[in-house]
Structure 1
Amino acid sequence: MANLSMDSCGSKCLKYFIAVFNFFFFVGGLLLAGFAGYEAFNPSSTLNQMIMSLNAPILKDGLYILMAVGLFLAMISFFGCWGALGENRCLLITYLTFVLLIFILQMVGIIISLVKYKQVKETMIYDLNHNSSRFGPAYLAAVSALEMKFHCCGVTGPNNYKTIPVSCYPTTHNVKRRSASSTTGATSSLAPATTMATTMPLGEPYPDGCEAVIRPYLYAAGGVAIGILLIEVMVMIFTCCLISAIQKGYEIV
């Protein structure tokens, strides 16, 4: 066997690091595919019922895509794990090629998101202003749920609407909570929340747009994405080192 610049101990560490790393991603891919498949094909699941209530088949298509992504991730991780443990150059090269393609697609996706962000934002504001959506029927319902959850209004503020919806008003939420807590078998003294929202004075809408409210979550997601990209670069470098070591022929464990 030829002596390598990377000693046998380092080669073994690379081998088992790549194997363990891909084992966890293999399990994660299967769990992701299982979760998405359960939610997509089980009519009684909470997420499935929410999709049906919103009449948004595109969201169900998203679950199918998520399931496919999970299976694809598991397949790639299997190649990496098996290739490292079996010291199989062919499998490792296949694994490296897939990881490189995923890395390139992620970079393209990030660039497109940054370039198209302003255009998408303007389209969303236009749809809110005209009470319509080119994103599908679930869009306006999702925006209303977001406004009630994060106490915000529109994308940049209430001025995105010609007619401000009740989901932008805190009074509406208080009425709904009181109505829900007061209906305990006996007839409630309060009218349904939807009726109350139209008859009670609503006060002032939330001044902040949802963009500003969820911006910290977007930054967090961006940080996670950068972390994943760095891990992928590290894994590709380690895989190249292991392929080189196998090529030169280090001592087999």
Structure 2
Amino acid sequence: MESCGMNVIKYILFIFNLIFAISGLGIIVAGAWVLADVGEFDHFVESRIMAPPIVLIVAGFIVFAIAFLGCYGAIKEHYNMLIAFAVALLIIFIIELAVGIAAAVFKNDFSMAMKNTLKESIKNYTETDRQAWDNIQKKLQCCGADGPRDWIDNPAGIPSSCCNETMLVCQIVTANTEGCFRKLEMRVQNSATVLIGVGIGIAFVEIAGIVLACCLAAAIKKENDK
């Protein structure tokens, strides 16, 4: 016969996992939004900067799948399945924590690498670079890495994308004064803030899930041992 406490934990864990499944979808949406927001400037952004949202999307799919494992284990009162659920949550929590720590540690490196990429792109300025610069300068309303003077030594001159579309000829005095590095860096940092916020929120949910699953598993084991 089920104890009242075990019954309560079982249904709390079941409801928790339904919410957890929805949060998995939320993680996928957040990761996809960040990937789309920063990904359109991938010519200037290193692949490792794109890694956290990709990891988050993958984690979201895993969370969504694991939530059903937890629901089934709770309703069926399956001890081994609940332990597997708790271990899976712990692994995801550790992965998310590792990604967050890595992002914080290499934050300055990301910025310097991105700035160097922008500078090198101006020096090389192939057709691919031209398209990428036109895209970023139009969408972010910026010019050069640090400002329009970055284009002085470029044989092609200042790109028309540095100026308002109504300008027939784009010159330093009419170009956007703000450099693209600061604007792109701010965009990446805003995206990182979204990822960190979502990650912290999910981390608390995961810890709660681990505790509930372990409590129910312990209650089931105690009941079976009688």
**TM-score normalised by structure 1 residue count:** 0.58
Matched, 1:12 2:3: no
Q: Relative to structure 1, is the Cα distance of residues 200 and 114 closer, same or farther in structure 2, using a 3 angstrom cutoff?
A: closer
1:93-242 correspondence to structure 2 within 5 Å: 93-131=83-121, 145=135, 148-151=138-141, 158=146, 162-163=150-151, 166=159, 169=162, 171-172=163-164, 175=165, 196=168, 198=170, 202-206=174-178, 209-210=182-183, 211-212=185-186, 215-242=189-216
Partner of 1:187: none
The alignment of Structure 1 onto Structure 2 pairs a total of residues equal to 198
Alpha-carbon shift at residue 74 of structure 1 (Å): 3.1
| Cα distance change on mapping 1:96 and 1:118 into 2, 3 Å | same
C-alpha distance in structure 2 between counterparts of 1:203 and 1:64, whole Å:
36
Name the TM-score, length of structure 2 as normaliser.
0.64
Are the structure 2 counterparts of residues 142 and 200 from structure 1 closer, same or farther at C-alpha, using a change threshold of 3 Å?
A: closer
Percent identity of the aligned residues?
24
RMSD: 4.6
Alpha-carbon shift at residue 144 of structure 1 (Å): 6.1
Tell me by how many angstroms 1:214 deviates: 5.5
Shift in CA distance, 28/147, structure 1 to aligned 2, threshold 3 Å = farther
Show the counterpart of 1:42: none
Task: Indicate how the Cα distance of structure 1 residues 222 and 29 shifts in structure 2: closer, same or farther if over 3 A, else same.
Answer: closer
Relative to structure 1, is the Cα distance of residues 233 and 11 closer, same or farther in structure 2, using a 3 angstrom cutoff?
A: same
> Structure 1 stretches of 5 or more lacking a match?
37-46, 179-192
Evaluate the alpha carbon distance shift between residue 127 and residue 242 of structure 1 in structure 2; reply closer, same or farther with a 3 A threshold. same
SS of alignment partner, residue 121 of structure 2: coil
Read off the aligned partner of 2:118 and give its amino acid letter.
L
Q: How many Å separate the matches in 2 of 1:140 and 1:233?
A: 48
Match of 2:219 in 1: 245
Structure 2 Cα separation of the partners of residues 161 and 201 of structure 1: 10
Q: Separation in 2 of the partners of 1:220 and 1:204?
A: 28
The change in CA–CA distance for 1:150 and 1:120 in structure 2 (over 3 A counts) is same
Distance, in Å, in 1 between the alignment partners of 2:129 and 2:92 is: 29
- Unaligned 5+ segments in structure 2 are 153-157
Amino acid at match of 1:233: I
